[in-house]
Structure 1
Amino acid sequence: MTSSDAKRPAAVNHVLARDTSSSPNGAGHDADGFADNLTTATSTRNLFSPVHPDHDGDLVTTAEDRDLKRGLAQRHLSMLGIAGSIGTGLFLGLGVAVQKGGPLGSLLGYAVIGLIVCSVQFALGETAALLPVTGSFVRHAEFLVDPAWGFAIGWNLVYGNVLSIPSEITAICVLFQFWTDINPSVFIVVFIVITVAVGLAFIRVFGEVEFVFALLKIWLVVFLIVLGLVINLGGVPGTERIGFRYWRDPGPFVEYIAAGDWGKFLGFWAVMTGAVFSFAGVESLAMAAAETKNPRRSIPRACKRVFARIVIFYMLAVFVVGLLVPSNDPRLSGSGDSVAQSPFVIAASAAGIPAIASVVNAIVITSAWSASNQSLLAGTRVLYGLALKGQAPKIFLRTTSWGTPYMCVLFFACFMLLSFMSLSQGAMTVFWWLVSLTAAGVLVSWSSILLNHVRLRQAMKRQNIDVSRLPWYNSWTVYTSPVALFMCIVILFTAGFGVFTEGNWDAATFVSSYLDIPIVLIAYLGYKFYAKTKIISLDDVPLADAFEQAEQQIDEPEGKEPGWIRLVSWIWD
């Protein structure tokens, strides 16, 4: 038995030995270097049948252990979460938050969502440390809640990521128009090619790309916060000190839709619903758990550190923006997709530093491409996980010799061509309507993560399993997860409250806020009827096998960060 075999649970070694013995080369890869997951034992199954019998793919399966490669370290996961959540929402969208809620209202709104994100991250960390599977909370939902629920949120994520990649590429084309009039189709082709190239590369390549992008974003955020404070305090020659002037006039809160205290509350609530989408992406760091080194240690550490860094950056940024720009500044109006609307650019231009606009634009372009890379990673791994469960065609289980699910990547590459719809105004309108269908998917995903954790703790209590057996746990999460779940559901159903007020009906806002709810419910009920699934009894959740697998896993030793990386390692470690 090799050292790698010794690290696997006994049950996995047994199945692995059985599978590889039936494969001509014993490794599951064909002569072309691509993984051939269609073993002799499963070749006669129908198109949607599960390939491996390990609890029908609930635990870490033979396919994941054999065909995927563990190339992501804890620093990659931490920076993956940071890169996914620091983007246009922070660089361009904070002005919209200040306009709706005022400087204090926006600060409070982001603080509340920050606490919810904390609950989501800790719930995800506890569950993923026990079940470090590809597809993360989608597979957790099938294990802990109902296979039909996992099917529904899984395909909802696939659909959302299929559309988000071309939408990000389209945003890149718009951002490049800030500098040049070159035909947008050139940028579309270039970014499709490099996105597919990163998607097909070894997972470590993706990790390093996102690592660099996250560092760029963090440096820019720190720079903009410091610059904002310098401008506010009158440190730029020729500018006067602003201080808390805009907190006094036009005031700390903004009346939104209604008047008086009720209007100020609605302004705060509008900020909170919008802040959810600014934090979107923090949940993606566990999607490639089966491709992560020491996942039972790395994922919890990443979840804890990502939360702290992101909340600090966002809270400081929101606070500084509230100092720099008055909430009634007309330049803040819009959807937050233009560099000219960035409150940092507005303040810097007023201080005589117009070059900041180009700097912000450049980083936002990298943010958009980073977001497309993350959507590709999350979408392909969810699709792979669905195929493991027999809920997607088994062709999506095929991997390259270096462990990339290449058929999943090629599937997503086909839909990247939708970005060419941006060249037609009419087609673009249809495209953005398609994108808006899954705008509420963030709250659905967060709700599922929290529900998974609630069910895990309930099942452990029912089966008399002590919480100390979890690879990672916190005493307070048994209380924070139900509260955060309730808040996510409330925010989900009130996200588009403005369209129901007199004179504010907007079909696009209604669709983006609510249509994802019936889509998920129809998928859930449809699969439940088709597959005749049942909500899993707390007594029947196979926790004993999950804990046995977790306790048999041996972590690899961690080395110190090399060279210059050690100087900035405090960001993720």
Structure 2
Amino acid sequence: MSMIEGAYDAPGKSADVGVNPYGGHESVQHGDFVTENEERDLRRGLGQRHIQMIALAGAIGTGLFLGLGSSLQTGGPLGALLGYAFVGLIVCAVQFALGEVTALLPVTGSFVRHAEFLVDPAFGFAIGWNIIYGNLLSIPSEISAICVLFQYWTDINPSLWIVIFIVLTFVVGIAFVGIYGEVEFFFALLKIALVVGLIILGLCIDLGGVSGVPRIGFRYWKHPGPFVEHIATGSWGNFLGFWSVMINAVFSFAGVESIAMAAAETKNPRQNIPKACKRVFARVALFYVASVLIVGMLVSSDDERLQDESGTAAQSPFVIAASAAGIKAIPSIVNAVVITSAWSSSNQALLAGTRVLYSLALKKQAPAIFLRTTAWGVPYMCVLLQTVFMFLAFMSLSSSALTVFYWFVDLVGCGVLISWSCVLVNHLRLLAAMKKQGIARTELPWHNKWTPYSSAVALTACLLILLTNGFAVFTRGGWSASSFVSSYLDIPLILVAYLAWKYYKGTKFVALEDIPIRAALDEIRDNPETPEPVRKGWKGVVMKLLWE
């Protein structure tokens, strides 16, 4: 019996009789905070280094390598730097909130299951299906992007690349989850090496360390200036430029919230997932902030080459700077790593989508067929469903079909902000329930003293960005139906799904006093995890720097 089913036992009631949120009663045990299905059918194949690197691999992708140019063009070097720094702080709050709740409830589906446990089953249903829908479409869109990236080198028929990457993605998805962990671990190392290399190269170019290239310094901060006027003029135009950068930055950081989706397949999740949440945000923020700073020093915000919309390495500001310095190998290196980034993103979308679908099936919010797993613990019916949708990538071969395809993708354009908001709402509900029940936060397996404040501030910021992320369509001459759809249609979709399930099943908002936090804490006390071994010597130093 699952933890969520136990969530509806009011204090003082018998431990083996609970109130079903859909009406009626059912037998529950407070000790089962991970379902029997998860314990029996899934396998714990992800270690600490996998979890650390999965989060990094998901967050460092095309948004960093290709997307910084548009942010620089819109906000200027200082506007871009401030935008990414601010969103980095939001990511920090989201990661810490996710770490605190996951340490208490390390279940498959992560914050989707947390939402049902802490808020309302209908809320978990709406968020879960929104994530599934988004991932069903994001995989073929990533495969389509890979086809474009290969066109930088060759004019081979894109159908070949589509078939190859559908097969590769399926193989990784259907294999033991440890294989996925190793693949993402390798990709993350590649990305980190490239980012560090590009930052060092950028500094060398900027400071005049490349033969024949004069020192640039902060020249472009003076002319054309630290900010760029966007839509309006003057200070208001500068602010709108900064705000547009912040919206772009949110989507660049997308993926960090997926770190705990496979918590039931992670070794010692109460130790390893909070560690990853605590450390990953700093590294991701550092990579992005340092990269934005370097790019703002290397390329002028009014450089016409930033307008390149090829979708290949040619639009990367790092490539623009390296090409200007006469370094010919950089474009191909960046293009190759961006291809691995796109494939890494499709792998991560497959993992997140399948585990959320599996978690919904556990709660009878999806057909029971999706509970079927392989002998090595992979929900294969979930993987097969995702694989069927991968063939939508062939729509990219037709211009008219591609337009329709991206309209579907646009429907979940603001899904990342909704997911972050869900993580923060879950955390605030947990804190409110603990206060209501007189349980000290120090009893949590992992906690930080500032998270009650950071979660509230970050939730306010997320909702504000969510409501204003399409502000340009409301300006004079700025109306665009596709932009409006991508910016806002996901909000009513979530509301409709929430209200429909609430009406159909008659679910209720979970009362703070009925959330069995004490039972969860007792479960942790009665089933302690084995402490992670302490690495010593030079290997321990290297591991600590990279992923510990």
TM-score grouping bracket, smaller chain normalisation: over 0.9
Check if 1:439 corresponds to 2:375. no
Where in structure 2 are the equivalents of 1:181-260 lying within 5 Å?
Answer: 181-260=155-234
Report the secondary structure of 1:390's partner residue.
coil
Check if 1:115 corresponds to 2:70. no
1:351-391 CA-to-partner distances (Å, cap 9, x unmatched) read 00122110000000000000000000000000000000110
Give the Cα separation in 2 of the matches to 1:461 and 1:336: 53
Question: Contact 2:31/2:520 (CA < 8 Å) preserved in 1?
Answer: no
Tell me which residue corresponds to 1:497. 471
RMSD, matched Cα:
2.1
1:245-292 CA-to-partner distances (Å, cap 9, x unmatched) read 000000001110000000000000000011000000001110000000
Shift of 1:568: 4.8
Tell me which residue corresponds to 2:546. 571
Question: Contact 1:81/1:282 (CA < 8 Å) preserved in 2?
Answer: yes
Tell me which residue corresponds to 2:259. 285
Tell me which residue corresponds to 1:392. 366
Could you tell me which amino acid in structure 2 is paired with residue 446 of structure 1?
W
Where in structure 2 are the equivalents of 1:388-467 lying within 5 Å?
Answer: 388-467=362-441
Question: Contact 1:58/1:140 (CA < 8 Å) preserved in 2?
Answer: no
Report the secondary structure of 2:513's partner residue.
coil
Report the secondary structure of 1:535's partner residue.
coil
Tell me which residue corresponds to 2:45. 71
Check if 1:97 corresponds to 2:93. no
Shift of 1:59: 2.8
Shift of 1:491: 0.2
Give the Cα separation in 2 of the matches to 1:422 and 1:98: 29
Report the secondary structure of 1:385's partner residue.
helix
Question: Contact 1:96/1:334 (CA < 8 Å) preserved in 2?
Answer: no
Report the secondary structure of 2:254's partner residue.
coil
Give the Cα separation in 1 of the matches to 2:336 and 2:115: 39
Shift of 1:334: 5.2
Give the Cα separation in 2 of the matches to 1:363 and 1:560: 33
Tell me which residue corresponds to 1:512. 486
Give the Cα separation in 1 of the matches to 2:535 and 2:346: 28
Question: Contact 1:162/1:379 (CA < 8 Å) preserved in 2?
Answer: yes
Give the Cα separation in 2 of the matches to 1:486 and 1:394: 37
Question: Contact 2:41/2:373 (CA < 8 Å) preserved in 1?
Answer: yes
Overall identity of the aligned pairs, in %: 65
Shift of 1:54: 4.9
1:269-327 CA-to-partner distances (Å, cap 9, x unmatched) read 00001100000000111000000000001110000110111011111000000000000
Check if 1:144 corresponds to 2:118. yes
Shift of 1:554: 2.1
Where in structure 2 are the equivalents of 1:472-551 lying within 5 Å?
Answer: 472-551=446-525
Question: Contact 1:57/1:389 (CA < 8 Å) preserved in 2?
Answer: no
Give the Cα separation in 1 of the matches to 2:427 and 2:366: 25
Report the secondary structure of 2:500's partner residue.
helix
How has the CA–CA distance of structure 1 residues 180 and 334 changed in structure 2, closer, same or farther, with 3 Å as cutoff? Answer: closer
Give the Cα separation in 2 of the matches to 1:105 and 1:482: 25
Shift of 1:56: 11
How has the CA–CA distance of structure 1 residues 568 and 496 changed in structure 2, closer, same or farther, with 3 Å as cutoff? Answer: same
Question: Contact 1:83/1:370 (CA < 8 Å) preserved in 2?
Answer: yes
How has the CA–CA distance of structure 1 residues 467 and 348 changed in structure 2, closer, same or farther, with 3 Å as cutoff? Answer: same
Shift of 1:559: 3.9
* 1:177 aligned residue (151, 160, 180): 151
* 2:132 aligned residue (158, 167, 173): 158
Question: Contact 1:88/1:337 (CA < 8 Å) preserved in 2?
Answer: no
Give the Cα separation in 2 of the matches to 1:119 and 1:386: 26
Give the Cα separation in 2 of the matches to 1:454 and 1:337: 39
Shift of 1:66: 1.2
Shift of 1:84: 0.2
How has the CA–CA distance of structure 1 residues 360 and 194 changed in structure 2, closer, same or farther, with 3 Å as cutoff? Answer: same
Give the Cα separation in 2 of the matches to 1:358 and 1:414: 32
TM-score scaled by length of structure 2: 0.93
Tell me which residue corresponds to 2:17. none
Tell me which residue corresponds to 1:30. none
Give the Cα separation in 2 of the matches to 1:483 and 1:379: 29
Shift of 1:468: 1.2
Give the Cα separation in 2 of the matches to 1:335 and 1:118: 31
How has the CA–CA distance of structure 1 residues 54 and 319 changed in structure 2, closer, same or farther, with 3 Å as cutoff? Answer: farther
Give the Cα separation in 1 of the matches to 2:157 and 2:270: 47
Shift of 1:528: 0.7
Shift of 1:55: 7.0
Where in structure 2 are the equivalents of 1:368-383 lying within 5 Å?
Answer: 368-383=342-357
After TM superposition, the structure 1 stretch with the greater mean CA deviation from structure 2, 546-555 or 345-354, is 546-555
Question: Contact 1:57/1:388 (CA < 8 Å) preserved in 2?
Answer: no
Question: Contact 1:141/1:150 (CA < 8 Å) preserved in 2?
Answer: yes
Could you tell me which amino acid in structure 2 is paired with residue 86 of structure 1?
I
Shift of 1:69: 0.5
Check if 1:310 corresponds to 2:263. no
Give the Cα separation in 2 of the matches to 1:443 and 1:104: 24
Give the Cα separation in 1 of the matches to 2:403 and 2:197: 36
Question: Contact 1:68/1:290 (CA < 8 Å) preserved in 2?
Answer: yes
Give the Cα separation in 1 of the matches to 2:310 and 2:270: 38
1:7-44 CA-to-partner distances (Å, cap 9, x unmatched) read xx9x99xxxxxxxxxxxxxxxxxxxxxxxxxxxxxxxx
Tell me which residue corresponds to 1:28. none
Question: Contact 2:125/2:497 (CA < 8 Å) preserved in 1?
Answer: yes
After TM superposition, the structure 1 stretch with the greater mean CA deviation from structure 2, 368-377 or 557-566, is 557-566
Report the secondary structure of 1:539's partner residue.
helix
How has the CA–CA distance of structure 1 residues 336 and 97 changed in structure 2, closer, same or farther, with 3 Å as cutoff? Answer: farther
Question: Contact 1:309/1:571 (CA < 8 Å) preserved in 2?
Answer: no
Question: Contact 2:30/2:520 (CA < 8 Å) preserved in 1?
Answer: no
TM-score scaled by length of structure 1: 0.89
Give the Cα separation in 1 of the matches to 2:283 and 2:532: 22
Give the Cα separation in 1 of the matches to 2:274 and 2:126: 26
Give the Cα separation in 2 of the matches to 1:55 and 1:85: 38
After TM superposition, the structure 1 stretch with the greater mean CA deviation from structure 2, 451-460 or 432-441, is 432-441
Aligned length: 528
Question: Contact 2:115/2:426 (CA < 8 Å) preserved in 1?
Answer: yes
Shift of 1:439: 1.2
Report the secondary structure of 1:126's partner residue.
helix
